[in-house]
Each structure stands twice: as structure tokens, then as C-alpha cells.
A and B are shown apart, each in its own frame.
Chain A
């Protein structure tokens, strides 16, 4: 039997393969449920471990640059901004001050862009292809760096994002009859698992029980985000293809929207931005065409933390506030930087220059990755620790 005959033999089976089996979808639902539970565990564990001294524990990160570095390096090492932002949401619920967490969230944005930069290294053997792929990867880095350069001083001076996040979270915890504190289905649904974990682990005593619970929550987040990412990549590839086919030739707004949608579907901004690398590397898509997709990825990745923030105990309003800060930071970044033509072109120009330079001398690529994601943050942390 010819292969073509096998492929056309059972269209129902093909359709099922394309859309995924119901077991896979149940797997996704269970993993998302576990992710939300895990954030609740981190909050409870952190509160149990620190008592009311969370602020003292993170005293080193009160310096916003230190917070930024912690977020950058943690995300670069874990390779997932969703994981780091969910952990931050849990920590805020457990008492970490929002002001300390904001630069960490900004750092998570920078750290996550290392993944597609590393993916682009796979194109190193073809000079022109590498130049295009490396530019496509680093345009995301430059956008995120520019965003920090603009918003971190505004945050330090006026607490801009903190205010916006508070404004957005308040209606959900404002004490009205319809607020989340009066009926929260997500919290009610996750309570049995979170309470069981608390009852099993917290009797270990203070602070050990709290530390173990928080670490268990972190491990569970890491596991559930990794597995759900793998499952969704398999399940959503067809849908992602349809979305991107629709977006072709429809302008930047459509690109941003598609990037947001694809990232929400696969629950990983790294997947979306890394997907752009081979598309640009082949030369089929120009840097300016893939740029809006990568910006959409920044927005789409915020959903995980918002979802996780709905189920935490402890300082739930602050947890929702930091999740909304992440969302508003990324939306404002896109609106401001992409909205102003001068700012819009800066990441593109910088990425084009770096791509060309790195294709001429590959050591530049290595120096860039080590410098931006590890050495510069390390130096910042050292300087801020000494200050």
C-alpha cells in the first residue's frame, strides 16, 4: 500500500490526530489545575516560612536593579517567564512587597528572550541565514531592554505600574457583592489540593514546613508548565498555523494579535518567539514582519500569572495586582514603543546591526549572550549588594 493511500485511508483518524485526543485535553486541564494549585502552595509556604518577615528576607532586592537582575537570571536559567511570573505571584501572595516584585517581573521579560536567542544559534553554519535568525531572535531582547529603560525609571519615580495594577485589581477585591472575595470558584476548586498539601507538609514546623511547601509548589509549577507546554505544542500546532496563515499580509496589528493568540494557546512566549526564528532565518519573513508577532508573545504570556493569581490565599489582592502589573507593563510597552515610530524602529535597527555583526564574527554572538544575560546582571547584582 502506498503512503498516500494510508494517509487518505481514514480522514477521521487524521482529524483526531490533528485536534488531539480527549486524553490529551484532559491532561492539559489537569496540568493547568495543578499549576494554579502550585501557586497557592507557594503563597502559603512562603508565608509560613517567613512569618511577617518576607520584606526582610528580600531586603537585598529592595534595590530595583537587584530585583531586575533576580528576575532576569532566574528566567534565563529556568527558560520560562510563565514559571517565574507565577512563582512571583505566589511569593507576593505570601507577603513579598509588590514594589520589590515589579522589577523582578520586568527582569523575567528580559530573561525569557534568551531562549529564542539560543535557538537561533542552530543556524550558525549558514552566514546569511544566521544573520537573519539572530536578528529575529534579538529584536525581542532589544524590545524588552528598551521597555525596561523606559518603564523602570517611571516605576521608581512614580510607581506608575504599581498604581495601574492596583487600579485593575481593586474591582475584584473592592468589597462589592460581585467581588472575587465573595465568590471565587477557582479558589474553591483548588482548595482541596492546596489544603491537603498544607496539612501534610506544614506540620513539619516553622519555618521548615513553609520552606518545603514553597519548594514543592515551585517544583510543581515547573513540572506542570513544562508538560502543559509540550502537550499544547502538539495540540495547537494546527491552530497556530491557521492563525498565522490568516495574519499574513494583514499588517502589524494583526501580527500582534496573532502573536498574543498563539502564545495564549501554547502558553509559552518562548515557543512563539522561537517559532519566528526559522521563519525569518529562511528569508520568507522579514524582520519587520515577524517583529509584531514577538510583541504579541509578550502580551499572551501574561495570562498564566493572571489565572494563577485568582486562586491564591493570603494577600490575594496584591497577587492579582502583580499579575495585572505584568499584563499592563507588556501592553503599555507595545503601545508606547510600537506606537511611536522612532522608538518602534530602534529594536529593529539594533537587531539588524547585531545580526550582521554576529554573522561576520560568531564570537560576538557568544559574547552578547553571556554579557546580556549573565555577566551584566551579575555585575549589577554585585554593585547593588556593595551599595
Chain B
């Protein structure tokens, strides 16, 4: 970054402008990827609709998990 001191003001302005353009491109690419990921998730909405229906199995699994976790922490202590 020491060489910055040797750059003229005009060169600095050009560099800032280029950096801003790159930043905008990077942000746009990131937004595009996020939007694509969301589109992909929504394409699986049928599956999500099924998993959105409450079933007792998820509660059972959760309780099993709590018991497993309690046992493993007891063993480790």
C-alpha cells in the first residue's frame, strides 16, 4: 500500500472507480446466487409442504435426541 503515496490524484480516482465497479459486480453476483438458491428451495416446495405438516415423529426424535445428548454428556463427565 506504500505505492499509493506515489499515485497521482487522477490515478487514485480511476482506481476507486474501478474498485467500486468490481464491488458492484461482486454484490450483483452474490445477489444472483442467493436468488438462485432461493428459487431452488422453492422448486422443492412439494417436499417442504410435506415436512411442514406436523407429525409426532419429529417431537419423538427431538426427545430421543435430548436423551442421547444427556447420556453422552454424563459419560463424558
Contact = CB atoms under 8 A, between A and B. Distances in A.
Interface stretch (A47-55, A121-129, A371-379): A121-129
B59 A118 contact: yes
Given A121-B62, A122-B58, A366-B66, A233 B53 contact: yes
B40 interface: yes
Interface stretch (A172-180, A194-202, A279-287, A306-314): A279-287
B41 A119 contact: no
Contact of A241 (B43, B51, B52, B66): B43
A237 B49 contact: yes
Interface in B27-47: 31, 34-35, 37-43, 45-46
Given A118-B58, A118-B59, A284-B40, A362 B66 contact: yes
A248 B39 CA distance: 8
A237 B45 contact: yes
Given A118-B54, A241-B42, A233 B49 contact: yes
A95 B44 CA distance: 47
A362 B48 contact: no
Interface string A357-384: 0000011011000000000000000000
Contacts of B52: 116, 119, 271, 274-275, 277-278
A362 B59 CA distance: 13
Nearest to B56: A118
A115 interface: yes
B38 A115 contact: no
A318 interface: no
Interface residues of A, number: 32
B49 A121 contact: no
Contacts of B42: 241, 244-245, 248, 279
A362 B65 contact: yes
A12 interface: no
Given A115-B54, A278-B48, A284 B62 contact: no
A249 interface: yes
A119 B69 contact: no
Interface string A159-196: 00000000000000000000000000000000000000
A240 interface: yes
B3 interface: no
Given A118-B58, A124-B61, A282 B41 contact: yes
Contacts of A278: 41, 48, 51-52
A369 B47 CA distance: 26
Contacts of A365: 62
A285 B61 CA distance: 25
A135 interface: no
Interface string A68-89: 0000000000010000000000
B51 A119 contact: yes
Contacts of B37: 283-284
B61 A274 contact: no
A62 B36 CA distance: 52
Interface of B: 31, 34-35, 37-43, 45-46, 48-49, 51-54, 58-59, 61-62, 65-66, 69
16 contacts: A79-B54, A122-B51, A122-B58, A122-B61, A124-B65, A233-B53, A241-B43, A271-B49, A275-B45, A275-B52, A279-B48, A284-B38, A285-B38, A362-B62, A362-B65, A363-B66
